[in-house]
Structure 1
Amino acid sequence: MSFQSSAEVHYQIDLTQGTQQLARVSASFPETPAGQLTLNIPSWRTGKYTIMPVAEGIRRVSITDEQGQPLSWDRSASGEWVVNLPKATKVKVSYQLHADELGVRLRHIDDSHAFLDASGVFVYSPSYRDDSVRVQLQVPKGWQSHSGMDSGDTPHSFVAPNYDVLIDSPIETGVSQSYQWKLDGRDYELVIWGEGNYNAEQMVEDLKKLSPTATAIWDDYPYKRYVYMVHATSGARGATEHLNSTIIQRPRFRFGSREDYLAFISTASHEFIHTWNVKAYRPEALVPYDYQNEAISDLLWISEGSTSYFQRQLLLRGDIISFDEFSKDLARRIDAHLNTPGRQVQSVAEASRGQWIRRHDHFAHNHSVNIYSEGYLASLLLDFDMLKTSNLKRSYRDLHRVLYRDYSTPKSFNRNDVLKILSELQGRDYSNWWQAHIESPMQPDFFELMALAGLSLNYPRGTKDVVSADLTLKAGDRAVVDKVDREGVAWKAGLTHGDEIVAINGLKVAGGDWSKRLQDFKAGDQLTLSYFRRDRLQETQIILSSKKDKPLTLTMMDKPSKQQKAFFKAWLGLSWEEAIASNKKVFW
């Protein structure tokens, strides 16, 4: 609760000495009663479910009263300071900020720009979290400042109704390109920092096509203004959704090919969808955001996986991609799922609960799934079930339409709410379905599933069986084991992560030779592998297996039935004939 409802917090940041990636930040808090005032810097940022060392970038902290006299304070946690107030006074906090976290999209300052996510820049007090804020930037001459927030009454300033809006409205300031347009009464902007092989006009054209497709899912828009911020980088990549904007990062020369551009525009669609799913409506563990602690939820797969599921559907509806491009992405996801041993161990609900400590190593490969890819397929499975059992009258889009309509913040939703919506939409209890596919590792028959929509999931013509040891090596000249497939032939032979294979049947092998050497054998052959473990030479016997040399593909059937065509259209929103026509179109 705020100490006074009319309070306003003022922030200032001096960005004029960016060469060393340093800034000076000050925050002025309204008159506060005698006692203590708690100040925090968040321990994580929205969109990245990981505790981060955010406070490590803060140095030279000074806290004074309204006369400029020092106040005593103690640091009570990594991101928390408690200020002692002998009498009522306004409080000013000042500190040096180091900002070089570009790749995690937290804060980055240099001599050409600054990207500021408030969770990594501005301290807050829980006592004034709900009160209005004003941000003033001091920037080098020639810089332009952009944000999804409203502009203030002075250049390079922004205002927000509270800290939650500030923290979800990043600022991009510097030397950049900017494009503005208006569509259906809403304002849009594309801001690009950095040189690269992008085509800004093409980006604007497709972003204009993307916006109207949202009505396929939701009844209205949760914003009046939306800003796409794009960084063309020297290697950093990734993206983060925000309340009224997104930040998308790609290496500067990864925009030019069709494949690279599809990755960019798919990311833009993903973050755009997040404006509804996870910003407008969120699982109850995320409402309100607890910026200092983990927020464990079993529904993060809906927040992230469902967003991934819809992202290329909207691009398809907007005539931005072809059906072939859509189907290749779907086939790739199914193929990756079938080649991930962890799918047999972890459910998508448990992956959601464990997202805050998710690993990205050999253990995760064998014992885990991730909320994005597995959540995509769980969404697909639920969508097809809803379509099939409602005779194509309702779909997964209807579930999200209701979540937005009835559960938008400050409300939230939980598992029981989702089951209630499904029951009301479908007229049946989904508890058993949920237990079988969400709370348990899902094992759908994707070949049968795709046939419902007239699609064939098969290996392409000319696919061959090639020999395999069911392991992958780390990149490099040495044959060091990275991942061993659980219950595969290498696993059964006793090999594990970190082993360095040095010989096959007594003859030396290196990392670059491994695949070629295996092709000298066939599935079923027994080999002797020599390897180092803890610097001791050891041997094991392995019986080789086989794998396909090409991934699965998804193609349209030659003679689909009327029912399959109807299912296809109810699912994707375009007819069979329109899909065929899209495959013949040259997009650019």
Structure 2
Amino acid sequence: MTGLNINRFLIAVVTIMLFLPAQAAVKSVTNGVSYYIDLTQNEHHLGQVEIEFPGTNEPYLDIQMPVWRTGLYNILNLPKAVRHFEAKSASGAALEASKIDKSTWRIRLQDDQPTQVSYQVYANELGRRSRHIDDTHAYLDASAVFMYADQWRQQPIQVELKVPADWRSVSGMNSTAAHTFVADNWDILVDSPIETGIHDAYSFTEQGRDYEVVFWGEGNYDAEQTVADLRKLVRTGDHIWSSYPFERYVFMIHATDGAGGATEHLNSTVIQRPRFSYASRKDYLSFMSTASHEFVHTWNVKAYRPDGLVPYEYQHENYTDLLWIAEGSTSYFQDHLLLKAEVMKLEEYLGNLAQRLDAHEQKPGTDTMSVAEASFNHWIAEGGPRAHNASVNIYSEGAVISMALDFALLQATDNKVSFRDVHNALYEKFDATETGFTSADVKTILAELTGQDWDNWWQEHVEQPHQVDAAALLKQVGLAIEPRDKQEAWVGWRTKTSESGVQLTRVDRHSPAWDAGFTEGDFVVAIDGQRVTADRLQEQLNEHQHKETVTVSYFRRDKLATKTLELASRPVDKMVIKPMAEPTRAQRAQFKAWLGFDHPHAK
């Protein structure tokens, strides 16, 4: 029997052990806030919440629910799910309560007794990773479930759940009994989601820290292989940082339908994927990259984060021009850790890198928006064709700029300083519970580590739109982009099949189709008088030569029209990155400083 199977057979014992907190870390909830939620109406996605707040001599008490949650920088208007809000004093006297804005209830107090609040919350938003209750489980992110009073935000809390008899509850918070959790304040509660229900659960200890992996939902995942690889992953923190910011960590994995994504928390993460998207090597590595991304966030965002996010303000947007570091650098490092853990092979890493760099080169928005602007505007980030043509993404473009900065540091210091050193310095200098870092702080760290000024680099790469030279970057570490000689006709549009013809879903800015005046929504029906079909469109275009002009017939607003279009060309094959057969000594040295192991063709 394997160690993992032993853990499964002894899960009851493991559960009890996990529920025993370190006494010094737990405070009494005397004069704190007590939360209770009844989850027995789960088939209707309903939870009944009760909260008791300490007494106060103030004439009223404002109770609030956040309008967004951490890890998803969008206004979600979470209070919309609340119904039947009531308030009373500890003696049972009803208190007048009125809603004064979309997320605030004002309670008129009669004396200094504790105030008791109750309300019903509807929880059927699984994909947002905010709140979901059904007959098999409940996932509770406190920002979407438990209200707070600002003056009691820093008081100790206790949360008790009423659940079906066969349910099991887990959270990154300490637990004093089954289905009961405690924390030093509401900020810990809001960053420690609760997963309760019918689970497949595993646990292990690594380097003196305790880990738990909880699977909800059936799927084609291999649970034991997943846990074994997560165990390898969690050993890699010292590849970047000087210490770990937690003693216990929980992976919550949802195998489900119609939901995907993940969110980092203080010492836990929730990862959601379609239930049958785990088995292939490609899908499995995608899952592991997500797990690694969230694990990196335990440091980058949860232990240290930009100034605009410290402290979190839950009633409005939290602006910063550094989300490209918070998210993009995390995306950059996620596969580094999988390489270090030997979960991912070098050729797989290079495949992911090629996909990212290829997308960067093909994105028109890189010459329009900087990563700093994208960070600040992420709260109102666009989607669809406009986003592709006029903006960049803090995740993918932030990762590319992170790589460019990493290589610039290695070049400037003869491989003595890397971007890992910058992140470790941020970790050691800034505590997210107290203060955040600014762009000026990052540039100061860069100067301290290298003895050089980085203002010009920062302005060129961060504050202005910038497209990196992928081939030149890769050459520094003895990598090359394979030649892509085979070409196909290209006009710069994307299409989908429609009853009215082939509909354009996107037109790349400054492409031939863009310059000819085509736009998304047009229905292309013929090329040079020959009817267009979705399965032959590319073939029809390939029948013509580069820079040859064709006549395109199309419908716009149900009216037939024609335009002439000059064809361009592009490589048929996707970008492929390969190690150089004979790298120089300098290239081999920078490769090792970059990834931490020898170049494949090191002599």
Q: Assess same fold via TM > 0.5.
A: yes
Cα distance in structure 1, aligned partners of 2:304 and 2:568? 47
Which residue number corresponds to residue 55 of structure 2?
Answer: 31
Deviation at 1:420, TM superposition (A): 0.5
Instruction: Tell me what 2:68 maps to.
Output: 44
Residues 266-310 of structure 1 deviation map (CA, whole Å, 9 limit, x = unaligned): 111000000000000010000000011101111000000000111
Pair 5,259 (structure 1): closer, same or farther in 2 beyond 3 Å:
closer
Match of residue 13 from structure 2: none
CA distance, structure 1, for counterparts of residue 43 and residue 188 of structure 2: 29
Kindly report which structure 2 residues correspond to 1:500-511, keeping only aligned pairs within 5 A, or say none.
Answer: 500-511=523-534
The corresponding residue for 1:95 is 119
Residue of structure 2 equivalent to 1:182: 205
C-alpha separation in 2, matches of 1:177 and 1:257: 21
497-506 or 440-449: bigger deviation = 497-506
Change (3 A) 1:412 1:113: same
Of 454, 466, 469 in structure 1, the residue corresponding to residue 488 of structure 2 is: 466
SS in 2 for 1:215: helix
Is structure 2 residue 445 aligned with structure 1 residue 421? yes
Native 8 Å contact 2:360 2:467 kept in 1: no
Partner of 2:559: 536
TM-superposed CA distance for 1:508, in Å, is 3.1
Kept in 2, the 8 Å contact 1:34–1:89? The answer is no
Aligned counterpart, 2:416? 393
Checking the alignment, whether the CA contact within 8 Å between 2:369 and 2:465 is kept in structure 1 is: yes
Report the RMSD for the aligned CA atoms in angstroms: 1.6
Corresponding residue number in structure 1 for 2:163? 139
Asked if the contact 1:479–1:512 (Cα under 8 Å) also holds between the matched residues in 2, the reply is: no
Shift of 1:513: 4.1
- Is this contact kept in 2: 1:7–1:128, CA < 8 A? no
Between the two proteins, the alignment pairs up a number of residues equal to 574
| Higher mean C-alpha deviation, range 73-82 or range 280-289 | 73-82
AA partner of residue 164 (structure 2): P
Q: How many Å apart are 1:5 and its aligned residue?
A: 10
SS at match of 2:437: coil
Q: 1:54 to 1:513 in 2, by over 3 A?
A: farther
Q: How far is the alpha carbon of 1:398 from its aligned partner?
A: 0.6
In the other structure, the counterpart of 2:405 is: 382
Pair 1:285-2:308 in alignment: yes
The aligned residue for residue 429 of structure 2 is 406
Structure 2 counterparts to residues 18-417 of structure 1, below 5 A: 18-152=42-176, 154-409=177-432, 410-417=434-441
Alignment correspondent of 1:563: 586
1:586 match:
none
Contact 1:21 1:99 in 2 (8 A): yes
Paired letter, 1:44: W
Give TM-score, length-normalised by structure 1: 0.95
3-state DSSP class of the match of 2:242?
coil
CA separation of 1:127/1:233 partners in 2, compared to 1, >3 Å: closer, same or farther? Answer: same
Contact preservation (8 Å) 1:346, 1:440 = yes
Letter in 2 for 1:468: W
CA contact (8 A) 1:73 1:83 kept: yes
Rounded to whole Å, the distance in 1 between the matches of 2:536 and 2:90 is 70
Aligned equivalents of 1:5, 1:102: Cα separation in 2: 31
Q: Distance in 1 between matches of 2:550 and 2:149?
A: 64
Q: Quick one: structure 1 residues 476 and 160, their matched pair in 2 at CA, closer, same or farther if it must change by over 3 Å?
A: farther
Q: Tell me by how many angstroms 1:512 deviates.
A: 4.4
User: 2 CA distance for matches of 1:357 and 1:7?
Assistant: 40
> How many angstroms apart in 2 are the aligned matches of 1:514 and 1:28?
65
CA separation in 2, counterparts of 1:379 and 1:537?
48
CA distance in 1, matches of 2:553, 2:514: 15
Provide, for residues 191-213 of structure 1, a one-character-per-residue CA deviation record: whole Å limited to 9, x for no partner.
Answer: 00000110111111111111121
Contact (CA 8 Å) 1:480, 1:499: kept in 2 or not?
A: yes
Identify the match of residue 454 of structure 1 among 472, 475, 478. Answer: 478
> Once structures 1 and 2 are overlaid, which stretch shifts more, 552-561 or 58-67?
58-67
SS of residue paired to 1:425: helix
What residue in structure 1 maps to residue 10 of structure 2?
none
SS at match of 2:366: helix
Identical-pair percentage: 47
Deviations 1:72-114 (A, max 9, x none): 1221221111111133221111111111110110011100000
Please say if residues 235 and 252 of structure 1, whose CA atoms lie closer than 8 Å, have aligned partners that are also in contact: no
Aligned partner letter, 2:149: S
| In structure 2, distance between residues paired with 1:447 and 1:374 | 16
Q: Which runs of 5+ in 1 are unaligned?
A: 582-588
Whole-Å separation in 2 of the counterparts to 1:31 and 1:213 = 47
CA deviation digits over 1:465-498, x for unaligned, max 9? 1011211114655422111111111111111122
**For residues 476 and 200 of structure 1, what CA distance do their matches in structure 2 show?**
41
Q: Which moved more, 1:428-437 or 1:541-550?
A: 541-550
Residue type of the partner of 2:238?
Answer: T
Alpha-carbon contact 1:33-1:88 (below 8 Å) kept: yes
User: For the structure 1 residues 405 and 31, does the alpha-carbon distance in structure 2 shift closer, same or farther, using more than 3 Å as the test?
Assistant: same
Query: Aligned with 1:486: secondary structure?
Result: coil
Question: 2:157 and 2:563 mapped to 1: Cα distance?
Answer: 65
**Is the 2:137–2:198 contact (alpha carbons within 8 Å) kept by the matching residues of 1?**
yes
* Deviation by residue 1:342-377 (Cα, 9 ceiling, x = unmatched): 001111111101110111111111110000011101
Name the CA distance, whole Å, in 2 between partners of 1:34 and 1:430.
51
Q: Are 1:526 and 1:543, in contact at CA under 8 Å, matched by a contact in 2?
A: yes
Q: Which runs of 5+ in 2 are unaligned?
A: 1-27
1:430 to 426, 429, 454: 454
| CA–CA separation in structure 2 for the residues paired with 1:580 and 1:161 | 52
Aligned residue type for 2:161: L
Match of 1:585 in 2: none
Q: Distance in 1 between matches of 2:57 and 2:534?
A: 67
Answer whether contact 2:66 2:77 (CA < 8 A) is retained.
no
User: In structure 2, how many angstroms separate the alpha carbons of the residues matched to 1:325 and 1:184?
Assistant: 28
* CA shift for structure 1 position 407: 1.0
- Counterpart of 1:103 in 2: which secondary structure? helix
8 Å contact from structure 2 (residues 232, 341) kept in 1: yes
Q: Which amino acid aligns with 1:307?
A: T
Q: Would the aligned equivalents of 2:371 and 2:398 in 1 still touch at CA under 8 Å?
A: yes
Q: Deviations over 1:392-414 (max 9, x none)?
A: 11111110011000112212100
Separation in structure 1 between the aligned mates of residue 602 and residue 354 of structure 2, nearest angstrom: 17
Quote the residue 2:8 is aligned against.
none
Shift of residue 510, structure 1, vs aligned partner: 4.1
Residue 490 of structure 1 aligns with which residue? 513
Task: Report the Cα distance in structure 1 between the residues aligned to 2:371 and 2:31, rounded to whole angstroms.
Answer: 43
| 1:580 Cα offset (Å) | 8.9
| Residue 151 of structure 1, CA deviation | 0.6
Contact in 2 for aligned 1:455/1:555 (Cα 8 Å):
yes
Alpha-carbon separation, structure 2, partners of 1:469 and 1:457? 24
Query: Conserved in 1, the CA contact under 8 Å of 2:361 and 2:467?
Result: no
Distance of 2:57 and 2:539 partners within structure 1: 74
Shift of 1:511: 3.9
Q: What secondary structure does 1:375 align onto?
A: helix
| CA distance in 2 between partners of 1:78 and 1:465 (Å) | 56
Write the letter of the residue equivalent to 1:130: Q
